[in-house]
A and B are shown apart, each in its own frame.
Chain A
Amino acid sequence: MKDENLERKLSRMLAAVRADAEPALMTRARAQIEARAACSATARRPMTWWPTA
């Protein structure tokens, strides 16, 4: 087989393989971002009580 043919076939094979972007990955990232934001909002909340000895 000529090198050009082999190269063409290889390029077609490389381009034919791909993956789908499942929405679940975005949902996962979003949930982590929101959980982190909620956590830092709690940490920033001023203390409304003071521990007594």
Chain B
Amino acid sequence: MIARLRGRDLEALGELYRELGPAMVSLARSMLRNRAEADDVVADSLIRVHDKAAGFRGERGLRTWVLRIVANRCRDLLRRRRFDAGEPESLDPLEHAGLRVEPMADWDHALDQATALAALEKAIGRLPREQREAVILRDRLGLSQEEVAETLGIRVGAVKSRLFRARETLKAELRGLLEK
């Protein structure tokens, strides 16, 4: 596929999107928490992949290279947002971001899933951008710590530290709700 992408084959770009699209969209929507903006970022990122594929040397995996492009586009957009108040309180943050929930088999039914997940999304939205990126790539997209480091262009030690701080914050914010 990489050779065809380098040759600017649009069918290969479509194959890449079928394979990596869910991760690209999940990353953009989780980072930006705004479906329309996230979809613009994903479409722009696909164009960038098409344009830059000829220079892709494969020293990083294709998935981390593509996700890095998406993460960089998200950063650009977040920097340009002069005032980010997040989603209005009245809106369901998952719906606003265009995210959906997979059924959780062993969910504690004493706990309202929608309330807990909405609280989690809001807490993720309040994390510093560096921590948010790390926690989404590792815990939502399932990348290894090494892959997160490659995607973000940082050392594994920095990934560990960002993940630790993010999880501590999320646990502190959700403890009251999850302990009910």
A interface, size bucket: 20 to 34
Q: Is the CB of B140 within 8 A of A14?
A: yes
For the complex, give the distance between the alpha carbons of A22 and B116 in Å. Answer: 26
For the complex, give the distance between the alpha carbons of A2 and B100 in Å. Answer: 28
Smallest CB separation, B166 vs chain A (Å): 10
Whether A6 sits at the interface, judged by CB under 8 Å, is yes
Interface centre among A9, A10, A17, A33 (most CB of B within 10 A): A17
Whether A28 sits at the interface, judged by CB under 8 Å, is yes
Given contacts A16-B101, A32-B47, contact A10 B170 (CB under 8 A): yes
Whether B21 sits at the interface, judged by CB under 8 Å, is yes
* Interface stretch (choices B25-33, B56-64, B79-87, B154-162): B25-33
Whether B178 sits at the interface, judged by CB under 8 Å, is yes
Given contacts A11-B139, A13-B117, A26-B21, contact A18 B175 (CB under 8 A): no
Q: Is the CB of A25 within 8 A of B179?
A: no
B13: which of A6, A12, A29 is its contact (CB, 8 Å)?
A29
For the complex, give the distance between the alpha carbons of A17 and B139 in Å. Answer: 10
Given contacts A10-B167, A26-B21, A29-B43, contact A18 B13 (CB under 8 A): no
List which B86-127 residues lie within 8 A (CB) of chain A.
Answer: 94, 97-104, 106-108, 116-117, 120-121
Whether A41 sits at the interface, judged by CB under 8 Å, is no
Question: Closest residue to A14 on the B side, CB-wise?
Answer: B139
For the complex, give the distance between the alpha carbons of A3 and B164 in Å. Answer: 13
Given contacts A10-B170, A17-B117, contact A25 B104 (CB under 8 A): no
Q: Is the CB of A33 within 8 A of B47?
A: yes
Given contacts A1-B178, A13-B116, A16-B102, contact A33 B10 (CB under 8 A): yes
Smallest CB separation, B98 vs chain A (Å): 6
Question: Closest residue to B27 on the A side, CB-wise?
Answer: A19
A29: which of B18, B47, B100, B171 is its contact (CB, 8 Å)?
B47
- 10 CB contacts below 8 A, A to B, read A11-B139, A14-B139, A17-B101, A17-B121, A18-B102, A19-B98, A21-B42, A26-B13, A29-B43, A30-B10
Closest 10 CB pairs of A and B: A21-B21, A29-B46, A14-B139, A19-B25, A19-B26, A26-B17, A1-B179, A29-B43, A28-B43, A21-B22
